[in-house]
Structure 1
Amino acid sequence: MKIVFLDSATLPPKTILRTPNFPHTLQVFEYTAPEDVPARIADADIVILNKSKLNASAIADAPRLKLVAVAATGYDNVDVPACSARGIVVSNIRNYAINTVPEHTFALIFALRRSITAYQDAVRKGRWQESGQFCFFDYPIRDLAGSTLGIIGDGVLGQSVATMGRALGMKVLFSTYKGRNDMGPLYTPFEEVLAKSDIVTLHCPLMPSTRNLIGANEFAIMSRKPLLINTARGGLVDESAVGPALDAGLISGAAFDVVSVEPPPPNHPFNALLERPDFILTPHVAWASEEATQGLADQLVDNIESFFAGKPVNQVG
């Protein structure tokens, strides 16, 4: 078996990828440009990738390909129908980020709710000395206890965020799908969640039905001026509408770990927000605790070994 890893540099340097327990050769590339994918996988039996794109043309030019092992949960970068038509198994990683993403979510919430980064920046610029007293009150500080947390996405990550929120004394609302109000008593209508929440956090996949799920119309009904947190997928929020919503006071802050184009280009609207005390952008690292990334790598090899043993797991498509 020939295994080709197209983009190993998408995993942190400390992550250890153990050797699969069957005869194989392994060819590792730190990065692979789109135009180089076909040549690099032409004679591969197994392809490992994280963010590299695998389209139908490249798949057609890889006659030996049997398994695409995605080193992530999302797999929209792989043409799954083209793989299925060839009988190629596609596997992904599941439930590895159950601690790291919720913890990052709350790190962002705390940072905004208590103006942590704003105060740190003010201290760095000498504001404490200028105040002439033991503290200063330039930025708002709010407790989480007693506030309402609106969660869009009820999978394992959304549920873990809910558990943390309840432990902090928050009221938790799970949103229905947008346009659906028939999902039962455990869910609150989408528009009502937006209207009643002090924090709105996204934990849903990016699909045609969720692209630009939050935009100008949705910001307009956020009557409690909530924080908006996105640690899920770029594209769930109309990113051009975030700055105007902050300017108009429709939301009291926003924090993103994901962007529709990563890294964001120079003309991306978020670049104009980076100096604001009510905006935080982290570089898609919510998933990347050392514990989580090692768990991902271990599960990746488990998926490959299970496939070789004739018992594929974590199949998609």
Structure 2
Amino acid sequence: MSAPAPAPLDILRARLAPLNTSTSTNGHTNGHTSSPGGSAMSPSPRSGLTDPTLALPTPPPETALPAKDATVYLPTPLHPDAVKYAGERFGRVIMPGEMELGQAMALADGIGEWHGMSPQSARLVFPWLHDEAGLGSDLDLGLDSCFLPPATCRVSLVTLNRQNTLPKPTLDLAPKLVGIGVVGVGTDSIDLGECKQRRICVMNCPGSNAPSVAELTLALTLALLRRVPELDARIRRGEKCLAIDHLGRTLFGKEVGVVGMGSTARKAAELFHHAFGCTIHVFSPTSPSTRWTSHDPLGALPHTRHDTLASMIPLLDVLSLHCPLTPSTRGLIGEAELGSMKPGSVLVNMSRGAVVDEMALAQALREKTSVMGAASDVFEVEPVRREMAQGLFELENFIGTPHIGGSTVEAQIDVAVQAIDQLADLFDGYPVRNRVC
């Protein structure tokens, strides 16, 4: 009889085992008995974190609130295994209570500051929408309905959905706020300037979901080139579909353009190049010149870098977007760019909805004189609804998904664990990884 399959949490512990050795600065050893074999799960490593600009001041030992004593609130559902992990890292994990956002943020007024002072507790906010993984799709956690912890909580981790923002008026509700964690990468919903002025630490989790996002990028590209949704719809309508009348295009050896050079862009480019022999073109004016070269710690990835988008687009069979939303990327792909795309080419948007002019895209897809098809996992208005997408969902040559790029079980566990570890580091006074401001 074969041995029973390991439980998901045991797999998670095994994956994190190399990361788990440290002792807190206040004398507490952060060990957590976890596996059947008695191995300990401890905080993440601090090796290599030598940049003083990344570190928060360490709290005095007599007043520090170590992670193992912290109470953490999780109003938005994490993956169940991530919730279990949070229970092992923190003293107490509390699920939704009966307090609204304004009331709870106001409670932070009387809480001691962290910044090297004598904190009695801290309150952290994690903007994140987990219902993209299907684990809380029935929830609508608007700012006026987000449940927050009871007043007895010493420390709170608050997860807000992607439709929520953290502008100055919201930050005003919690003048003692010391940290904001983004379970993901994007920080466009947070007033970073205000956070910097208030000395609020903003953390994100880059790279954790990159393989999953790249995987969906490839899936959408293949579905467009082979016209999968279109042909599926025709068959369902009872139409006769002869193969010779519905030829697709192959991906092998094609010219692929990538906008952006972050974690998801690299993973996608690796798949295109190594699995399909595609030639990679890149437009990313803000990325270092050493990125994806032999001087890159991640290694070289063959590519041609372009100084302008206009010089790259006409060469491409596939245009794949992986850039953040900034003033310079808003509306980056508009009527002119779509019109210059090679006939028969496809566009895949995995960045942010506002990077593409949705109205111009719908018109280009109707005309079919340049871009043959397009797919988007992101929209200017989210959660996406058919009637708010400029008619894109009326078109057979368009594929839309509801921002699920990183929504795999594996990715959601990884990103939640990373966020939990970074929160614990902040509590324990360790240098903060992935600090945005």
TM-score range, shorter chain: 0.7 to 0.9
Specify the SS of the correspondent of 2:247: coil
**Structure 2 vs 1, CA of residues 143 and 90 (structure 1 numbering), >3 Å: closer, same or farther?**
same
Using the size of structure 2 for normalisation, the TM-score is 0.63
User: Residue 280 of structure 1 aligns to which amino acid in structure 2?
Assistant: I
Structure 1 residues 145 and 210, CA gap change in structure 2 (3 angstroms): same
Shift of 1:25: 5.5
Say whether the 8 Å CA contact 2:386–2:393 is kept in structure 1. Answer: no
Q: Quick one: which of 338, 342, 346 aligns to 1:219?
A: 338
Contact 1:255/1:281 (8 A) holds in 2:
yes
Alignment of 1:150-189 (within 5 A): 150-167=257-274, 168-177=276-285, 186-188=304-306, 189=308
Structure number with bigger Rg: 2
Cα–Cα, structure 1 residues 140 and 82, in superposed 2: closer, same or farther, change >3 Å? same
Aligned to 1:313: 433
What SS class does the counterpart of residue 213 from structure 2 fall into? helix
Matched residue SS, 2:353: coil
Q: Give SS of 1:157's match.
A: helix
**Residue 56 (structure 1) aligned with residue 124 (structure 2):** no
The one of 123, 133, 144 aligned to 1:35: 144
Match of 1:117 in 2: 229
**How many Å separate the matches in 2 of 1:97 and 1:219?**
29
* Partners of 2:360 and 2:150 in 1: CA distance: 40
Over 3 Å counting, the alpha-carbon distance change for 1:15 and 1:235 in structure 2 is farther
Quickly say closer, same or farther: Cα 1:15–1:209, change in 2 above 3 A. Answer: farther
1:258 equivalenced with 2:324 (yes/no): no
| Higher mean C-alpha deviation, range 67-76 or range 235-244 | 67-76
In structure 2, the CA distance between the partners of 1:293 and 1:38, relative to structure 1 (3 Å rule), is: closer
Please state how far the C-alpha of 1:47 moved relative to its aligned partner: 3.5
Q: TM-score, normalised by structure 1?
A: 0.85
Q: How does 1:26-105 map to 2 (within 5 A)?
A: 26-28=94-96, 31-35=140-144, 46-51=157-162, 52-105=164-217
Q: Deviations over 1:131-171 (max 9, x none)?
A: 6xxx5334231111121101111112111111111120211
Counterpart residue identity of residue 175, structure 1: F
Please, which runs of 5 or more residues in structure 2 have no aligned partner? 1-69, 98-138, 294-302
Unaligned runs of 5+ in 1: none
Q: Distance in 2 between matches of 1:196 and 1:159?
A: 20
Runs of 4+ in 1 over 6 A off after TM superposition: 37-43
Q: Secondary structure at the match of 2:86?
A: coil
* Equivalence for 2:314: 195
Give the Å deviation of 1:37: 6.2
Question: What does residue range 221-300 of structure 1 map to in structure 2 within 5 Å?
Answer: 221-249=340-368, 250-265=370-385, 267-270=387-390, 272-300=391-419
**Are residues 22 and 126 of structure 1, via their aligned partners in 2, closer, same or farther at CA, if it must alter by over 3 Å?**
closer
**Per-residue deviation at 1:76?**
1.8
Q: CA RMSD in A?
A: 2.9
Are positions 1:142 and 2:249 aligned together? yes
How far did residue 49 of structure 1 move? 3.4
1:217 shift after superposition: 1.2
Alpha-carbon distance in 1 for matches of 2:148, 2:402: 30
Give the stretch that moved more between structures: 155-164 or 202-211: 155-164
